Amino acid sequence: MTVSDQQPDGPIRTPKSRRTGLLLSVCACHLLHDGLADVLYVLLPVWQTALEMTRSQLGLLITLYFIALAVLQVPTGILAERTGERILLIGGTAVAGLGFLLMGLPGGPAMLAVTLVVAGLGSSVQHPLGSTLVARAYGPERRRIAIGTYNFSGDLGKMLFPVLCGLALGVFAWQSITTVLGILTIVSALAFLVLLRRLRIGEAPAETPEDTDPDPDRPTGIHDRRRFTVLSAIAVFDSITRYGLLTLLPFLLIEQGVSESGVGLALGLLFAGGALGKFFCGVAAQRLGVLPTVWVTELVTAGGIVALLIIPQQFTLVLLPLIGAALNGTSSVLYGSVADYVAPEQQARGFGIFYTVVIASGAVSPVACGVLSDLASLETALKVVAAIALLAIPLSLLLKPDPPPV
């Protein structure tokens, strides 16, 4: 059953208005979850001082969070085909809130690790389910722009939450901040429940389980495995670059004399550029093509990371929005292409597989970058991250369409 097929109670009646309500609801959920994830980078220097941890240990904490974020992506997509997306999306949001609510409890790094895993497990449902709802509601002619808007909302969260967290660190203890974030997330889960029920979005399908079983020849729903694999591999390099830069950047800024509040502002500028980059790169890919857009974004990303090590500190804040636009612009293009290679009725599991591969591979990056920066130097680790970004360019050539038969 599609969004446009359902008839809600209340004033929201037309398919167009329901699609708009769906997009706004899912975008709000995306904003919340991505904001929570990227608040963690602002807290890394704080935890380093308060808990006396090395960059390798802090990288391991972020890796644990993202492993938890990846582990339920595929099961969530498969389960949603039978239960509907709503109950999973609401439940996951509440669990993520619980993780943040308990994050400030005594117990040192061990308790922090446990609560990060809980928060990651809760947030793991958001990307595959949100992407599926948006892709299902908008046809192929509008899907890429709709998913670009959805990704744009996530970057608004990435922009707002780190800035607000950085400002709050000047006044409140980090434990108070995570507690407030936990309460906000649980309350938001209740609000999403009311709204999605009113819109009748994400309900269990009317078909019987036998009717919804996948094609035995394509249990994953992927009908173009070669290009789906190439797309996933490009996204892996992009993910490693992203998580590596976000892990190392706060420490680079601290070394350059930026305050903890300033780190939050700097990350906010990075994500502000990212929000615009995802939106406009999604439009650019729709009009100019996926490959040219990816080539430009990866070149700018790699060049920008190297430039951070060279330019005077006063120009860093000017450069960060440009890096953010390129860094996140790539992901907008890639995520918008997933639905092109997956059967419409099985997009939840297709997105689940894609996000599992991307997030699980990216999860290795924080701890690897932390170890490399401890053993070699922060500058060396950042140069390696920049080099990895460039690997996506030759790989993207494999996405070219096949020549027409003679």
Per-residue pLDDT of 27-77, as tens digits, reads 999 999 999 999 999 999 999 999 999 999 999 999 999 899 888 877 877
Question: Minimum mean pLDDT among 2-6, 299-303, 365-369: which range?
Answer: 2-6
**Where is pLDDT greater, at 16 or 273?**
273
Tell me how far apart the alpha carbons of residues 156 and 154 are, in angstroms, rounded to a whole number. 5
Tell me how far apart the alpha carbons of residues 49 and 63 are, in angstroms, rounded to a whole number. 19
Question: Minimum mean pLDDT among 2-6, 296-300, 320-324, 397-401: which range?
Answer: 2-6
pLDDT band at 140 (very low <50, low <70, confident <90, very high): low
- What is the total residue count of the chain? 406
Closest listed residue to residue 335, CA positions, set 349, 355, 362, 321? 355
- What token pair was written down for 176? 């108070």
Tell me how far apart the alpha carbons of residues 57 and 48 are, in angstroms, rounded to a whole number. 9
Closest listed residue to residue 76, CA positions, set 123, 22, 37? 123
- For 132-163, letters b (16+ CB in 10 Å) and e give bbbbbbbeeeebbbbbbbbbbbbbbbbbbbbb
Mean pLDDT across the stretch 17-23?
A: 79
Q: Which CATH superfamily is domain 15-209+221-399 in?
A: MFS general substrate transporter like domains (1.20.1250.20)
Looking at residue 275, its amino acid is: A
Tell me how far apart the alpha carbons of residues 296 and 294 are, in angstroms, rounded to a whole number. 6
Question: Minimum mean pLDDT among 74-88, 338-352, 379-393: which range?
Answer: 338-352
Closest listed residue to residue 7, CA positions, set 206, 139, 200? 200
The single residue listed with the structure tokens 């993520």 is 96
Tell me how far apart the alpha carbons of residues 386 and 198 are, in angstroms, rounded to a whole number. 46
pTM of the model: 0.78
Question: Minimum mean pLDDT among 146-160, 162-176, 297-311: which range?
Answer: 146-160
pLDDT at 203: 64
Closest listed residue to residue 65, CA positions, set 87, 91, 43? 43
- Helix (H) and strand (E) counts in the chain: 16, 0
pLDDT at 206: 54
pLDDT at 1: 38
Say if residues 265 and 166 touch (Cβ distance below 8 Å). yes
What is the four-CA torsion angle of 278, 358, 68, 252, rounded to 10 degrees? Answer: -60
- What token pair was written down for 385? 């991250």
Tell me how far apart the alpha carbons of residues 99 and 94 are, in angstroms, rounded to a whole number. 9
